[in-house]
């Protein structure tokens, strides 16, 4: 997504203009005398993409662990998370999280067209939807605990809490980022020319959502 900004003085705009149009490949000699990024993708965005690539393996490892252990009750035959799932509840909170991707897109769109107020509203909405999801997770964890599924029960419950917990931490960090953006915007420091910052945070946010689709499917929907 390119930043369509009317302020040619910003460095973002320079980057976009100067960059050769072929991403992923090197530029022809002499073509980038203006020193834009060689790939045409800004450094920050490229870094975020790489980070997310790395994150795929992190969640891949955790999901594999869960798949391996999901029915292991341990020697004492204690309860496992599958026994106490409340799938309608989790479906609703998953829906809330997915909707937050929509509001994230709206936040970026608003900022890109210079609508600071709209950006602020949608940023706040995104983080609040994220907050609802986290609240739901906290509620889910506590109710599971009450029903006798503790972290230390058996491999299945350890793997469940580790996987969903890691995801929850990721969402929480995303909320911190969104709120930081919100505060910056409130102070007038987040303007149209910074839309790429919002876009990069958005990449992270969408990634966290997409990962949840996988996790939700693997944990809650695929039968044991």
Partner 1 sequence: MTITEPTIEGPKTEGPLELESGREAIAERPLGVLTRPQGGRGWRDWLSTVDHKKIGIMYGVSAMVFFVVGGIEALLIRLQLAVPNGGVLSADVYNQVFTMHGVTMVFLFIMPLAAAFANYLIPLQIGARDVAFPRLNALSYWVWLSGAIFLNSSWIVGGGGADCGWFCYSPNSGVTFSPSHGVDFYAIGLLIAGIASLVSAINLIVTCLNMRAPGMDLFRMPVMTWMLLITQFLLLFALPVITVALFLLMFDRLFDASFFNPDMGADPLLWQHLFWIFGHPEVYIIILPAFGVVSEVIPTFSRKPIFGYTFMVFSGIAIGFMGWGVWAHHMFVSGIGPISVAAFSLSTMFIAVPTGVKVLNWLATMWGGQIRFTTAMLFAVGTVAMFTIGGLSGVTHALAPADTQQTDTYYIVAHFHYVIFGGGVLGLMGGLYYWWPKIFGFMLNERRGKVNFWLMLIGFNLTFGPMHILGLQGMSRRIDTYSSGFGFEFWNMVATIGSFIIAVSVLVLFHNIWKSKREAADLPPPGPDPWDARSLEWMVPSPVPEHNFDEVPTVESLDEWWHRKYSFDDNGKVVQIATAEEAAQDGSAKGVHLPAPSFWPLVLAVGLPLIGYGLIFNLWLCVPGGLLVGMGIFAWALEPVDDPDATHDHDGHDDDDDDHDDDGPDDAELAAAPAAPGDSTAGAPAAPGDKQGGE
Q: Return the structure tokens found at 73.
A: 């009750």
Residue the block writes with tokens 């996987």: 163
Residue from the set 110, 111, 196, 215 that interacts with partner 1 by CB under 8 A: 196
Q: Which is nearer to partner 1, 133 or 204 (by Cβ)?
A: 204
Whole-angstrom Cα distance, residue 84 to residue 141? 11
Angle, helices 195-216 vs 116-146, to 10°: value is 30
Least spacing, CB of residue 57 vs partner 1, in Å: 4
Using an 8 Å Cβ cutoff, are 224 and 73 in contact? no
Under rule CB under 8 A, residue 31 binds partner 1: yes
Return the residues of window 88-147 that contact partner 1 according to CB under 8 A: none
Q: Does 42 bind partner 1 (CB under 8 A)?
A: yes
Q: Which two tokens stand for residue 190?
A: 């987040």
Among positions 51, 89, 95, 139, the unique one binding partner 1 when judged by CB under 8 A: 51
Q: Which stretch binds partner 1 (CB under 8 A): 37-45, 94-102, 105-113, 134-142?
A: 37-45
- Which of these segments, 82-90, 112-120, 131-139, 192-200, binds partner 1 (CB under 8 A)? 192-200
134, 181, 211, 219: which one contacts partner 1 (CB under 8 A)?
A: 181
**In the structure encoding, which two tokens stand for residue 97, read together?**
């999280």
Q: How many helices (H) and strands (E) would you count in the chain?
A: 7, 0
- From candidates 197, 209, 211, 216, binder to partner 1 by CB under 8 A: 197
Q: Does 224 bind partner 1 (CB under 8 A)?
A: no
Q: Is the dihedral of CA 150, 82, 85, 83 positive or negative?
A: negative
């Amino acid at each position: 997504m390119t930043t369509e900004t009317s302020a040619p003085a910003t460095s973002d705009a320079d980057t976009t203009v100067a960059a050769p149009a072929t991403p992923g490949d090197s530029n022809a000699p002499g073509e980038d005398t203006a020193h834009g990024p060689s790939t045409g993708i800004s450094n920050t965005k490229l870094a975020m993409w790489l980070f997310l690539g790395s994150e795929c393996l992190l969640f891949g490892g955790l999901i594999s662990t869960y798949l391996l252990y999901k029915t292991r009750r341990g020697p004492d035959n204690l309860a496992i998370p599958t026994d106490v799932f409340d799938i309608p509840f989790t479906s609703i909170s998953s829906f809330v999280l997915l909707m937050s991707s929509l509001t994230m897109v709206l936040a970026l769109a608003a900022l890109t067209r210079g609508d600071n107020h709209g950006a602020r509203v949608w940023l706040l909405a995104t983080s609040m939807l994220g907050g609802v999801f986290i609240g739901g997770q906290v509620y889910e964890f506590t109710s599971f605990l009450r029903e006798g599924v503790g972290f230390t029960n058996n491999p299945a419950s350890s793997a469940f809490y580790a996987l969903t917990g890691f995801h929850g931490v990721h969402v929480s960090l995303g909320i911190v980022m969104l709120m930081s953006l919100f505060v910056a915007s409130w102070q007038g420091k987040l303007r149209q020319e910074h839309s790429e910052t919002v876009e990069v945070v958005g990449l992270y946010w969408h990634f966290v959502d997409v990962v949840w689709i996988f996790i939700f499917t693997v944990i809650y929907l695929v039968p044991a």
